[in-house]
Amino acid sequence: MKYKYFLFEQQDSVGMITINRPDLTNALNDDSLIEFRQIMHRVGDLKDVRSLIITGIGQKAFSAGSDIDEMLDKEPSFFRIHSLLGHQVMEAIERLRQPVVAVINGHAIGGGLDLALACDFRIAADDIKVGLPEVNLNFPGGWGSAWRLPRLIGLARAKELILLGRIIDAKAAFQIGLLTKVVPRDHLLDEARGLAKELAEKNLVAMELAKFLTNHSLEMPGIPFTYLESLSNAYSSTFDDFHEKMRMFIKKSKGPKKTNSKL
């Protein structure tokens, strides 16, 4: 797949999307958001892609979020459409049947952090910074950080980042639970590929259902959630390798049989 604003590659069952706007610190304008949305839908249809990595080209920025140059002197309708396009991309990442690993190889600011928050895992280089400075530009935030961040790190911590517009380093972001893991830059991609490969080895149906249930657990009432989870388990049991996996697990947990030897 060839695109104007992105690169796509695949190694075995792991796909990787790279934002390819190096001259604009991987910022996303309307055209690139539309293309991003198309890519996510196509990746979801690829049966041989079982996990996905999202990163940015270069080392300066994972993504600087919205392309500010494009926003100058625009009418209010532009900002509404731009925000909706960003939300559609973030929701497409969350709904993707494959698990998604954000490889934060550079600063993730504003919409760039929104993008990372929409992913299932966030592995970052130890010298990057993250933050949501939109309030300093008279914006409340555009692509869902005010919804996702409190669910990830709690309301009080989220308010510190969103209402104060603070930028924090990787170590601080890891300590508050925003990042999954922080590693030296030269180990970053290997670490991410290892995680993506481990995820790709899981049963894709079980992974898709577990991702959906986890993503919606906080806003779903207990009784409907229980019913949906029970149906998900029943559906998973219809696949050929379901019981075989259980047999293998039981065999492994019991270990080799001990034999009594007579002297």
Pick the residue with more confidence: 260 or 104?
A: 104
The predicted structure's pLDDT at residue 41:
95
Pick the closest to residue 134 from 147, 118, 146 (CA basis). 146
The mean per-residue pLDDT over the stretch 160-171 comes to 95
Pick the residue with more confidence: 88 or 227?
A: 88
**Least confident piece of the model among 14-23, 49-58, 86-95, 198-207:** 198-207
The predicted structure's pLDDT at residue 72:
83
Pick the residue with more confidence: 145 or 231?
A: 145
Decide the pairing of beta strands 14-19 and 6-11.
antiparallel
The predicted structure's pLDDT at residue 249:
66
The predicted structure's pLDDT at residue 1:
67
**pLDDT tens digits, one per residue of 113-129:** 999 999 999 999 999 99
The predicted structure's pLDDT at residue 263:
41
The predicted structure's pLDDT at residue 257:
57
**pLDDT tens digits, one per residue of 65-80:** 988 888 888 898 988 9
The predicted structure's pLDDT at residue 258:
55
Q: Is the pLDDT of residue 261 over 80?
A: no
Pick the residue with more confidence: 227 or 12?
A: 12
Q: Any idea of the CA torsion for 58, 60, 63, 64, to the nearest 10 degrees?
A: -150
The predicted structure's pLDDT at residue 230:
83
The predicted structure's pLDDT at residue 221:
72
